[in-house]
Amino acid sequence: RKEVEQDPGPFNVPEGATVAFNCTYSNSASQSFFWYRQDCRKEPKLLMSVYSSGNEDGRFTAQLNRASQYISLLIRDSKLSDSATYLCVVNSRTAGNKLTFGGGTRVLVKP
């Protein structure tokens, strides 16, 4: 089983709709969680950190469920520019601040 698993998608989303997807992680000692966005042939960019109580940044909402070991990302009022691959990233109690990346969920927002 992979340490961090994501549905690769693609999630085809009409413009203006809401889309949500999850990421599961296997290491219960995982401490920190992030969502990154990666555009085609570009580097990943931090979208948001995920806090225990859940957090929101504009149209993006992230949730953490420690009991079931998953995090989620919800995008409201999807824009064409939200089309990208969203990478789930997890840190476990290891040295060097090593992060483990999921394979990414591809989202395609269509007019």
User: Which residue lies nearer to other proteins by CB, 41 or 111?
Assistant: 41
Binding of residue 18 to other proteins (CB under 8 A): no
User: Which residue lies nearer to other proteins by CB, 9 or 54?
Assistant: 9
Give the shortest CB-14-to-other proteins separation in angstroms.
24
Binding of residue 95 to other proteins (CB under 8 A): yes
Give buried/exposed letters for 68-96 (b at 16+ CB in 10 A, else e).
eebbbbebeebeeebbbbbbbbbbbeeee
Give the shortest CB-77-to-other proteins separation in angstroms.
25
Pick the binder of other proteins from 29, 43, 81, 111 (CB under 8 A): 43
User: Which residue lies nearer to other proteins by CB, 95 or 111?
Assistant: 95
* Tokens of residue 23, six digits: 């990421």
Q: Which residues make Cβ contacts (< 8 Å) with residue 78, sequence separation at least 6?
A: 13, 14, 15, 16, 17, 18, 19, 59, 107, 109
Binding region for other proteins (CB under 8 A)? 4, 8, 31-32, 34, 41-46, 49, 87, 89, 91, 95-99, 101-104
